[in-house]
A and B are shown apart, each in its own frame.
Chain A
Amino acid sequence: DAKTTQPPSMDCAEGRAANLPCNHSTISGNEYVYWYRQIHSQGPQYIIHGLKNNETNEMASLIITEDRKSSTLILPHATLRDTAVYYCIVRRGNTGFQKLVFGTGTRLLVSP
């Protein structure tokens, strides 16, 4: 099973872009990279996911390297409400069953 590694914490100024890195060097060809975030005392919230191509939605952008061994979540204009723990996860299992195993994540602190 692939594992992910993330820095334990990062700081970002409000209004600036937050770039959160993730390493997943043992990812398999059919495994997706998912990003979630968890605001204190709430359930994790889905942000974005991708397989090979870069992805963008209303919340963030996901940049996946060509060798797929790492990715970066980009919050283009961070706000105070983006302060949370961000989890990078590689989806495992076959098409009939998917299991999400969370690492320790990155605690992002957005400051005024």
Chain B
Amino acid sequence: SQTIHQWPATLVQPVGSPLSLECTVEGTSNPNLYWYRQAAGRGLQLLFYSVGIGQISSEVPQNLSASRPQDRQFILSSKKLLLSDSGFYLCAWIGVNTEAFFGQGTRLTVV
């Protein structure tokens, strides 16, 4: 069965520090992978998606970047965090004509 792992679950980072959130999937090959962010009390905002290794598309300009070094690995990064980067980050896998599978999310607080 398909599963998606995301870590860490919570993270508190100071402003200006780097960020690396990792997401891995199991039970599928060549998945389409996605990073979403949810600010407090807001909906889900699509940040990045990837259709394959090394292929990254950005939905909105921001202080973040994404990479896909392996088929089942998707990484969200920042060189210097801003207060506005705080939020709930979700990784998702969406197959063709199937439902989406979401990780349990990372709650990032930038202080």
Chain A contacts to B: CB under 8 angstroms: 32, 34, 36, 38, 41-46, 49, 87, 95-105
Contact = CB atoms under 8 A, between A and B. Distances in A.
Interface stretch (B69-77, B78-86, B90-98): B90-98
A42 B105 CA distance: 7
Contacts of A38: 44
Given A44-B44, A49-B99, A100 B92 contact: yes
Interface of B: 32, 34, 36, 42-46, 49, 51, 88, 90, 92, 94-97, 99-105, 107
Contact of A42 (B32, B97, B104): B104
B104 A43 contact: yes
Contacts of A32: 97
B43 A104 contact: yes
Nearest to B10: A41
A104 B61 CA distance: 20
A102 B99 contact: no
A41 B51 CA distance: 27
Contacts of B44: 38, 44, 87, 102
Given A98-B32, A104-B43, A43 B99 contact: no
Contact of B34 (A46, A100, A103): A100
30 contacts: A34-B99, A36-B100, A38-B44, A41-B88, A41-B107, A42-B104, A42-B105, A43-B90, A43-B92, A44-B44, A44-B90, A44-B92, A44-B100, A46-B100, A95-B96, A96-B51, A98-B32, A98-B94, A98-B95, A98-B96, A99-B49, A99-B94, A100-B46, A100-B92, A100-B100, A101-B46, A102-B43, A102-B45, A102-B46, A103-B43
A43 B105 contact: yes
Contacts of A104: 42-43
Contacts of B103: 43
Contacts of B36: 102
Nearest to A46: B99
Given A41-B88, A95-B97, A96-B96, 12 more contacts: A43-B90, A43-B92, A43-B104, A44-B102, A46-B100, A46-B101, A95-B96, A97-B32, A98-B32, A98-B95, A100-B46, A101-B46
